[in-house]
Chain A
Amino acid sequence: MNLYEKVMSLYPDLTTEDFINGRVYLRNDSDGRGDYICDWQHPDFPRPTQAQLDALDA
C-alpha cells in the first residue's frame, strides 16, 4: 500500500482536487526516499500521524 492509498483508507472522502491543489500535498522527489507528505492544509481532516500510517502496513 503506497502513501496515497494509506491516506485514502484513513480519509475516503478526500477528493482528487485535494491532492492536485495541495490541501493534501504528497511528493516523491525521485531520489529513492519514496513518497512523503510535504504539506497538509485540509480544513476538515487532520494530518495523519506516522503511527496511523505505519499501522496500515500491519
Chain B
Amino acid sequence: MSRLNVDQIYTRTGTGSPAIREMPVFSVQRTIDQSITTNTYNKINYNVVNFDSNGYWSTSDYRYTPLIPGYYVFNMQGLVAGSSSVPTQMIASFYKNGSLIRTGNRIVLPSAPSSSSAVVANSLLYMNGSTDYIEGWIIAVAGTPYVFGSEVNNYFEGYLVRPD
C-alpha cells in the first residue's frame, strides 16, 4: 500500500489536482468612492489587491480569471451611500463572463434612509480554468448612490474548493 505523506500534499507531485499550496485564493477591495447610476447594474472596480496567490486578478479589467478549473466560492460586500440622498434598495451580484449569474440579498429600506447600507453576495460557481471570469456588481434604487470607498466594507474574495 502506498502512502501519501504531508510533503506530497503541500507540493505538486505530478499530474492531477493542484497541491494545497497552489490552490488559488484572492481578496480585493474598493478603497475610494465610486459613483454608480440609479436603477442600473454597475460593475465595481475593486482597486486594491489585498492578496492574490496566483495572480489571476486583473487590475485593469477588475475581474478574476482563474486558470485552474474547478468549483470556487466567491464572497462580496459593497457599502452603498448617497451623495445627496441614500438609495432605498440595493443588491450585490456576481457576473460570470459578463452576464448576471447570481444575486445576493436585497436590502429594502424605509423611504429617505439616513445612513449607508452594505449588501453581500455569496456563491459557489464552476470556472473552466481558461476563459471564465467573475466580477462583482451592484444595483441601487433611488437616491444618488455611490459605493463608499472603504477597505473594510467593500471587498470581493474567492477560493478554489474543488479542482476539476
Chain A residues, CB < 8 A from B106: 20
Q: Is A41 located at the chain interface by the 8 A CB criterion?
A: no
Task: Report if A26-B39 is in contact (Cβ < 8 Å); known contacts: A19-B139, A19-B141, A20-B91.
Answer: yes
Chain B residues, CB < 8 A from A31: 43
Count: A-B pairs, CB below 8 Å = 49
B139, closest chain A residue (CB): A20
Chain A residues, CB < 8 A from B45: 30
Of the listed residues B40, B43, B89, the one surrounded by the most CB atoms of chain A closer than 10 A to its CB is: B40
Interface size on A, residues (CB 8 A): 16
Q: Is A2 located at the chain interface by the 8 A CB criterion?
A: yes
Task: Report if A30-B34 is in contact (Cβ < 8 Å); known contacts: A20-B139, A20-B141.
Answer: yes
A26 lies within 8 A of B41 (CB)? yes
Q: Is A16 located at the chain interface by the 8 A CB criterion?
A: yes
Give the Cβ gap from A12 to chain B, nearest Cβ, in Å: 13
* A contact residues vs B (CB 8 Å cutoff): 2-4, 16, 19-20, 22, 25-31, 35, 38
